[in-house]
Structure 1
Amino acid sequence: MDFKGSDTIPGPRTEDHLPQTAQAAVKIVIVGGFGVGKTTMVGSVSEIKPLTTEETMTQAGIGVDDNYGSETKTATTVAMDFGRISITEQLVLYLFGTPGQERFWFLWNGLFEGALGAVVLVDTRRLEVSFDVMDRLEERGVPFVVAVNTFPDGPRHAIEDLRSALDLSADIPIVECDARRRASSRDVLMTLMRFLHSLAVERAPV
């Protein structure tokens, strides 16, 4: 999936500086396996020109990177993607997309630092990749929601069947999305923010 084919925001993107009305900025990470659409999601939803660290894939990655389902992919993130979206006039989210290849996962710890929450992007053709991703978030204590990116050739499953396959507890939200579409990606982020708010309410002293 490539954000070059994703929705574009009408008119020019905003300047890189924060809106004057912004009162809080929150760090969110977009994680997942190789080729699940993390760069696409950040690019489709960001109100500023996204920063990407994509490099052309070479034969050196053959036998190292698992590109099943992404055989036509020609570039890959080697450090991070970065974007920004204003959820309200007061609240801004900084979005950090992680590299998907396992050989770059050592960068994740730095990207997780200070993150309020995460979106785990899932490809139904490779559900098994998601277990390591979620384990790492749980180890770091980073709350997350799961977003199932609907690839045209990916098998479709009922949400509860996916919850069972991913061994997710009933309280963790799981939603379908199209990472190419700004509205769909924004809905995922709103699901995460509602989830984080519910956790904050539960943990608040009585």
Structure 2
Amino acid sequence: MVYADSDGGLAPGLNGVRAVKLLIAGGFGVGKTTMVSTVSEIPPLRTEESLTELGAGIDDLTGVEGKTTTTVALDFGRITINPQVVMYLFGTPGQDRFWFMWKELSLGALGAVVLADTRRLEDCFGAVDFFESRKIPFLVGVNCFAGADVYDEDEVRGALDLDPHVPVQLCDVRDRDSAKTVLVRLLEHVMTAAMSM
């Protein structure tokens, strides 16, 4: 299946269906798996493993103390936009030791959502750098966790030192409408970026 042609446009998949490949990225425990699960029309493919004592010195559970599993390769979901367009979602692993997967997952991606948690904003710096350096259009989705301080879009943009054209969207990835709004805004950003080339 082909996701993007060499000009960054939509490429035909099977039987003339256009495939759109998007990534859901961000730090450990920010809600990537949850977002893919919330919006996917199919049962999502998950590659989760249990956290163990062996990872205690590596995995920082600050702010996500109740987390018991972690994605070790990818999450995968699908949304049919219409009979001619299908969106494929790939959730990336959040821990540094699994980042070798990011390069492969990003091939052919038209855009990405970088999920952020304002309690651990620095955890999304690597994802922002990754997409900026590869010139893949991205949006920062601020997953609003209970008990976390709420900041407006401009405050988040300033804290992350984002270019003014990078969208920031507050969201709750457990809510289907909220997660879909993030994806719609990302697609609008991707189309705007393509038209400005």
The answer to whether TM tops 0.5 is: yes
- TM-align CA RMSD: 1.6
Conservation of the 8 A alpha-carbon contact between 1:65 and 1:102: no
Pair 1:57 & 2:51 matched: yes
Question: Number of residue pairs matched?
Answer: 185
1:74 aligned to which of 68, 78, 93: 68
Counterparts of 1:1-206 in structure 2 under 5 Å?
Answer: 23-203=17-197
1:185, distance to aligned residue in structure 2 (A):
0.8
Corresponding residue of 1:5: none
Give the distance between the partners of 2:174 and 2:82, measured in 1 at CA.
22
Corresponding residue of 2:10: none
CA displacement, residues 83-107 of structure 1 (integer Å, 9 cap, x when unaligned): 0012334221100000111111111
Give the distance between the partners of 1:55 and 1:91, measured in 2 at CA.
32
Identity among equivalent positions (%) equals 53
TM-score (norm 1): 0.86
CA displacement, residues 37-83 of structure 1 (integer Å, 9 cap, x when unaligned): 00000000000110001111101111201221110001110110000
**Structure 1: tracts of 5 or more residues without a match:** 1-17
Give the distance between the partners of 2:72 and 2:146, measured in 1 at CA.
26
1:153, distance to aligned residue in structure 2 (A):
1.8
Conservation of the 8 A alpha-carbon contact between 1:83 and 1:94: yes
Q: Residue type of the partner of 1:169?
A: D
3-state SS, counterpart of residue 183 of structure 1? helix
Give the distance between the partners of 2:133 and 2:164, measured in 1 at CA.
19
**Structure 2: tracts of 5 or more residues without a match:** 1-12
3-state SS, counterpart of residue 139 of structure 2? strand
Give the distance between the partners of 2:14 and 2:32, measured in 1 at CA.
25
3-state SS, counterpart of residue 170 of structure 1? coil
Give the distance between the partners of 2:196 and 2:73, measured in 1 at CA.
35
1:19, distance to aligned residue in structure 2 (A):
11
Q: Residue type of the partner of 1:115?
A: A
Give the distance between the partners of 2:170 and 2:148, measured in 1 at CA.
12
Give the distance between the partners of 1:89 and 1:153, measured in 2 at CA.
41
Give the distance between the partners of 1:96 and 1:135, measured in 2 at CA.
18
Conservation of the 8 A alpha-carbon contact between 1:32 and 1:133: yes
Give the distance between the partners of 1:149 and 1:39, measured in 2 at CA.
12
